[in-house]
Amino acid sequence: MNEVGSVGLIAALAFAAYGVVAGAMGGKLRSLRMVRSAERAAAAFFVMITLAIVALEIQILRDNFHNAYVAAHLCPTS
């Protein structure tokens, strides 16, 4: 699950960067195709972030302490 979340976050970053550039270029060039492409990149960004959140939630619910976030927040330290 660690890999799924990591890939989701990396893909989300790529979609976000592309969406910003495509949106700016589409607005400047008044290209409807570029603007729609930026909108689709925003939708893909949402899907990738949701995938990463679901992967993290599954790890939390299964008490999978291989992830540093899960281990730090679910294991009380004395």
- pLDDT tens digits, residue range 13-71? 999 999 999 999 999 999 999 999 999 999 999 999 999 999 999 998 888 888 777 77
What pLDDT is stored for residue 1 in this prediction?
Answer: 78
What pLDDT is stored for residue 76 in this prediction?
Answer: 66
Cα 26 from chain centroid (whole Å): 23
Domain count for the chain: 1
Domain containing 47 equals 2-74
Burial 37-55 (b: 16+ CB within 10 A, else e): bbeebbebbeebbebbeeb
What pLDDT is stored for residue 54 in this prediction?
Answer: 95
Task: Tell me the whole-structure pTM to 2 decimals.
Answer: 0.85
What pLDDT is stored for residue 69 in this prediction?
Answer: 78
